[in-house]
Amino acid sequence: MKTQGQLALVLHAHLPYVRHPEHPHFLEEHWFFSALLECYLPLVQVLRRHVQGPARLTLSLSPTLLSLWQDPLLQRRFAAHLDRLDQLCQKEMQQHRGVRSHLATWYRNRFQALGEFYFQTLGGDLIQAFVQLQEQGVVQLMTTAATHGYLPLLRNHPPMVRAQLRIGRQVFQALTGQPPRGLWLPECGYFPGLESEIRGAGYAYSLLETHGIQQAQPRPPWDVYAPILWDGIALFGRDPFSARAVWSRETGYPANPWYREYHRDLGWESREDLKDYLPEGVAAAPTGIKYHRVTGASEPKAFYEPGTARRQARWDARHFLRQQRELAARFPPGARPPLIVAPYDAELFGHWWFEGPVFLDALLTLAQESGVQLVTLEDHLDTYGPASRCQPAMSSWGEGGDHRRWLRPETGWVYLALDQAAETLESLLPVFGPGRGTAREQRILRQAARTLLLAQSSDWTFHLGREAGDYASQRLRSLFARFAFLTQALREGWDPGERLDALEQLDALFPQLDLRHFAA
């Protein structure tokens, strides 16, 4: 079939730094284990099936996620997590009959297969798995800011914005061996002037939310269906129709009644015997074993049917591609095809929408016959270049398209503390930074900078006041206390001793952190 337009699927894989070596079994590390089982490992499996085909997509890997992937402690804990799931599945198989027992067996087989794939086939090295997929031409890798800091709310301290961008690129290159050309702006958060920092950090292109392009000046003639150029940076805009098809809770594909229900988990059942599979002191938490499908809003939840759900996912992939072709057909034939940019959180595919990887697999298989050409952002940019020169508008992909998702009454104290910490770090750099302080003083300052980067993560302010708000608040207060302890030691001239070693073990990411990135 003749190609009607181009489709750029962009997946952004990111988790905050939820490593907690101070606890033998920590609840929030389950975020990481669940994402491995439901998203990252299935995604590798899907992409490996398309090495010989024309499938192409763009994949953003955050530096914090890469740091979690390569951490030996978390790899060992993941193995223990799989053992607990295996035992839980066996208990369920013994205690129940019929459909529930059948599903428990299905889950057990699934967990075992994914564990073998991770430890035996991949050797526990997800980073190299994705690098190999780039070398094989299936994906184009890009990255994001160091700890996913929401840059518009860090702009009062330009060195902090600069450090987030440059350290992110440095860490990505150190862990993958690949110099990234593309930048995923955390939460698609953009403010005028940011493009100069993006260019200075070594990136060539980035993505914005829809209105960041649509409200550009002058208005782009191609709307969001071609990249624009501003201050040497190419900027792509999100297609709103593709976003609604997957993200909408009411009309998006994941709302289909045949799909697995995310909110009904075995771990929420009130059962005394579940405590053996959860962290100490945790009465209820998700296990990843979910027996029900979405069904209807007011109906009792029916049991999940994996085979029917897979067939539905393939049908939805075909429908999605048909919609993309119809959208591309609205543009008259010309020198350049319209580019439909469809960016999503990678964790949507598998974690939030369990059948997401099946949908992706079918989409990659069916794209060629649908008349829609799958490309990466770089493919399109290298072939056609930007379509127009425009100044983009301030934007984000959060609620309201602005900053309100991260700047709310309950988060105001965080940004006050971040501003004060940034001022403190900037005042200490000329005294204790490279070429100034002793090796020990620079080590203390480096750990303080590492801690501040972690506190800047957009994940904490996003979760404050929500389901994981208590953890986010505790995490922030702990990080600010560590930062205050380290910087006080520098100002007052005393050595933190073994406590420095302990803090380096707790927050063990970015070992080669370069303090010069924070310089004014």
pLDDT digits (tens, 9 = 90+) for 326-375: 999 999 888 899 999 999 999 999 999 999 999 999 999 999 788 899 99
pLDDT for residue 3 is more than 70: no
Q: Do residue 376 and residue 429 come from a single domain?
A: no
Closest CA to 455 of 432, 487, 429: 487
Q: Does 483 have pLDDT greater than 60?
A: yes
The predicted pLDDT at position 251 comes to 85
Domain count of the fold of the chain:
2
Can you read off the two tokens belonging to residue 433?
Answer: 């930074």
Burial class (CB in 10 A: 0-12, 13-18, 19+), 180: buried
Name the 3-class secondary structure at 22. coil
pLDDT of amino acid 54: 81
Span of 26-30, 181-185, 271-275 with lowest mean pLDDT: 271-275
Domain that holds residue 435: 406-518
Running DSSP on this structure, what letter comes out for residue 123? Answer: T
pLDDT at res. 53:
78
Q: Which of 82-96, 264-278, 340-354 has the lowest mean pLDDT?
A: 264-278
pLDDT tens digits for 387-444?
999 999 999 999 899 999 999 999 999 999 999 999 999 999 999 999 899 999 999 9
Compute the average pLDDT of residues 380-388. 97
List the CATH number of the domain containing 513: 1.20.1430.10
Do 55 and 176 belong together in one domain? yes
At which of 380, 399, 418 does a domain end?
A: 399
Structure confidence at residue 2 (pLDDT) = 57
Q: What are phi and psi of 442, to 5 degrees?
A: -65, -35
Mean pLDDT of the chain: 95
Q: How far is CA 33 from the centre of its chain?
A: 14
When pLDDT is averaged across residues 189-210 and rounded to a whole number, the result is 97
In this structure, the answer to whether residues 373 and 468 fall within a common structural domain is: no
Q: Are residues 379 and 426 in the same domain?
A: no
Same domain, 58 and 101: yes
Domain boundary among 381, 399, 417: 399
* Closest to 35 measured CA to CA, from 89, 78, 79: 78
Residue 368 in tokens: 């060629």
Two tokens, residue 454: 């972690």
Specify the CATH number for the domain of residue 195.
3.20.110.10
- In this structure, the number of other CB atoms found within 10 A of the CB of residue 153 comes to 23
Show Cβ contacts of residue 217 under 8 Å, excluding neighbours closer than 6 positions. 390, 391, 393
DSSP letter at 272 equals G
Residues 6+ apart with CB under 8 A from 489: 444, 495, 496
One domain, residues 372 and 434: no
Q: Which residues pair with 141 in a beta bridge?
A: 59
Same-domain status, 332 and 465 = no
Domain limit, last residue, from 349, 381, 399: 399
Same domain, 42 and 112: yes
Q: Sign of dihedral through CA atoms 467, 469, 474, 479?
A: positive
Q: Say whether both 416 and 337 belong to one domain.
A: no
Q: Are 100 and 46 part of one and the same domain?
A: yes
Q: Is residue 248 domain-shared with residue 122, that is, in the same domain?
A: yes
pLDDT-based confidence at residue 278 (cuts at 50, 70, 90): confident
SS (H, E, C) 481-509: HHHHHHHHHHHHCCCCCHHHHHHHHHCCC
Same domain, 363 and 429: no
Count CA atoms closer than 13 A to 298's CA, side-chain side: 0
Please provide residue 224's backbone torsions phi and psi, each rounded to the nearest 5 degrees. -95, 10
